[in-house]
Amino acid sequence: MRYALAALLLAMPATAQEAVQPEQTYTVGEAQSAEAQSYMVVAAHPLAAEAGRSVLAEGGTAADAAVAVQLMLNVVEPQSSGLGGGAFALYWDASEGKLTTYDARETAPLAADETYWLGEDGKPIGWRDAVPGGKSVGVPGTPMLMERLMSDHGRMTRPRVARAAINTAEKGFAVSPRMAASIATGAERGLLAFAGTKATFFTEDGAPLAEGAMFKSAELATTLRTFAAKGASPFYTGELASNIVATTTGSPVNAGIMTADDFSQYEVKMRHPVCHDYRGYEVCGMGPPSSGALTVGQILGMLSSFDMAALGNSPEAWRRYVEASRLAYADRGLYMADSDFVKMPEGLLDPAYLADRADLISGDAASEVKPGEPPWKEGALLSPDRDKERPGTTHFVIHDSYGDVISMTSTIETGWGSRLMANGYLLNNELTDFSRAPEKDGKPIANRVQGGKRPRSSMAPTIVFKDGQPVIAVGSPGGSRIIAYVATTLIALIDWGLPPADAVSMGHVTASGGRADLEEGTAAADLAANIEAYGLEARVRNLNSGLSLMLIGADGLQGAADPRREGAALGE
């Protein structure tokens, strides 16, 4: 069953967190997929995919198309990402033969400290209480990332790449089923309590916008025109930044402490890619503050000790995966955070360390899971962080006619972010991705709040290489479960040889601590009895991913969009 990926590789030239209730229920059906020869976009909404495809058709690069896609997603999928949030991006420049990773994660206000999420009683406030309002908002990184991508790799002008999003915001579009369901659910999560979201996403009598209703936003269109004309500068030192400061500090609940200095000092950071071997492929992703590549790498590294291809898509194979996932998440909780603030073990992906961890995996009974002791020059006494980020994110992958590839995950954290709006777009609630407790049992938590720090993320944009050339680009939304969605998709492709559409449609299994979550309505749910006999709690539930996947080879491109959402794959 390895024909899909193998055919592409053989043709390649030799030189070339506990989630809140989901936004809506769904039935996993057939993935939207496509094949192309020159360029392709896989994104979470057809209008976004078309905006990117149009740019590529006119000779734009993957960077140009990424900006067109992100701006359109802010219009048609505002609850998931946009100018008020942040992102991680991997960019492969074919002409230079170089992979660059961009960290546009949001930052905490410089004045924030470890007591940021403590209540008057000195105890951490609950997550649901922390989300709404200005205190959960971090300095957005997406506007600066878009400008940086085009500066480094673009060929088009900002007015051209912003054109489709501006036109759609001005003229309107029909509200999709997913957006309508999200608005209805958002009404139960406090959207009506905030003037901006109430006026934008509800009718005058307070009813949520229904499927098929025309949605438009003159304010957002004006903001998009500002980006097209002036780039990111107004978002950090101009009126747009001032509007966010005023909105967050003047929030009717959880007023923030953000200042103009927090915006003027923000920067997109270039990080070293985190790469590791799996079955002869080089799997590359984003380093800290993302835990995505490290944790995916640990899972795959442990599974390297087992013949997953021979086991096939079987209960035994899933047991091995579940154990590897539990062990990897244990290390994630203890060690991983923004490496500009926290020293992390050098040996989290050390092959010998992962082989030792794999020895803990038994096919007969669940192991006692606790963090390991990877090679580390400087030990540190830390306490684990068990907080989990929520799913309110998007992902897209793009390949252009020049051979450049981008894999980008973008977010405002949970669906609808902080519920606050400024300049026509929603503001993130990323600061709730920090541990709300600064320490436990007298030991500091790595992912605690600190001024200027970036909260840990599970976002895992990934590009996989073979013989130095990109062959897979993948990623997903899904909060702390993103890691599982990406890792299992790579297993499906590399070990089980599934075609892209089957890989993104496969039932999900996620596991950490003493529990495995199995996706309802799929074959994964049938594993429940087996998992429980193994000694773990098995919970069958709605697991709403949003995978975007592309296979790349000399014979062409194969793309697939997750059927759980409304994405599309388009190309020529």
* Residues marked as catalytic: 393
Which residue's entry shows tokens 């697939």? 560
Q: With helix as H, strand as E and coil as C, how does 299-341 read? A: HHHHHCCCCHHHHCCCHHHHHHHHHHHHHHHHHHHHHCCCCCC
> What span, in angstroms and rounded, lies between the C-alpha atoms of 171 and 179?
18
What are the CA-CA distances from residue 43 to residues 49, 66, 132, 270 (Å)?
Answer: 5, 10, 28, 24
Q: Let me know: does 44 contact 77? Beta carbons within 8 Å.
A: yes
* Cα dihedral: 238, 239, 244, 245 (round 10): 70
Question: Where do we find the tokens 């154990």?
Answer: 323
Cα–Cα distance, 360 to 5 (Å, whole number): 31
Element (H, E) at 559: strand 556-561
Please give the DSSP secondary-structure letter assigned to residue 467.
Answer: T
Task: Report the alpha-carbon distance of residue 275 to residue 203 in Å, rounded.
Answer: 49
* C-alpha to C-alpha distance for 40 and 53, rounded to whole angstroms: 7
How far apart (Å, rounded) are the C-alpha atoms in residues 172 and 151?
Answer: 30
Residue 473 Cα distances to 407, 500, 553, angstroms: 6, 11, 12
Q: What 8-state DSSP symbol labels residue 45?
A: S
Tokens matching residue 317: 């194979």
CA distance 188 to 202: 13
- The residues facing 91 across adjacent strands are 100, 406
Rounded to whole angstroms, how far apart are CA atoms 494 and 498?
8
Residue 2 per-residue DSSP state: -
250-255-256 Cα angle (round to 5): 100
Rounded-to-integer distance, Cα 311 and Cα 302, Å: 15
Beta partners for residue 552, in sequence order:
557
* Amino acid residing at 166: I
